[in-house]
Amino acid sequence: MKQMRIFLLPALFIIVATVLVQAASNPQSPQPPATIASTVDREITTVEKLIVDAAEAMPDDKFNFSPESLNIPGSEYKGVRSFAVQVKHIASSNYFIWSPITGDKLPDGLKDGNGPENVKTKADILKFLKESFALGHKAAATLTTENMLQNPERSKSTRLRLATFGVAHAYDHYGQMVEYLRMNGIVPPASRGKSD
């Protein structure tokens, strides 16, 4: 038994030393536990990346593309939103959906789901889009287990419902953006292989 302890002591020392060396060379801090705020924020981040990447992928000269211009026999695209207005619609809706959670006022000129009329260029639309997602992150950060089922002022929906509906709505329009990209021969960034 004494010989076994003598043998185990150096083995234990080697194991402890190895763990300490690995910990020192790989200083990863433990992840904090998930919260309602961090969970919703992660969902916003995911859809934001898809949408911003897709919007950036559409060339400037095709940003106002609408499938109505294709004149596909038997199709029914009359009056549908252009790609640019799809992007503005996502951003506008983000503001309408998430501002009740944060209490922020709507941007100047935002009157409906098609966005402010003075936001026209690709650069301006992308800025408007990114700022709307910043509001989403701000809204997610306010969520707690205590307030998530409360209705904020100016809303009949709970904070959690508004926060997650913003994500669901964005995914719906992302699907439309994907179709518009593909109609123009552009593979959406999220669908590209590593070699693309």
pLDDT score at 195: 58
State pLDDT tens for residues 23-73: 555 556 677 889 999 999 999 999 999 999 999 999 999 999 999 988 888
CA 154 to mean position of chain CA atoms: 24
Q: Contact at 8 Å (CB) between 90 and 173?
A: yes
Is 80 exceeded by the pLDDT of residue 113? yes
Q: Write out the DSSP string of 98-161.
A: HHHHH-PPPPTT--STT--TT--SHHHHHHHHHHHHHHHHHHHHT--TTTTTSPPTT-SS-HHH
pLDDT score at 22: 55
pLDDT score at 9: 47
Residues 91-101 have a mean pLDDT of: 97
Residues 150-177 have a mean pLDDT of: 94
Q: How many degrees, rounded to 5, is the angle at CA 32 between CA 28 and CA 37?
A: 135
- For domain 35-190, say whether CATH 1.20.120.450 is its number: yes
Q: Contact at 8 Å (CB) between 188 and 133?
A: no
State pLDDT tens for residues 124-146: 999 999 999 999 999 999 999 99
pLDDT score at 196: 54
pLDDT score at 80: 92
d(Cα 11, Cα 22) in Å, to the nearest integer? 17
Q: Where are the domains of the chain?
A: 35-190
Map tokens 């205590």 to a residue: 146
pLDDT score at 74: 85
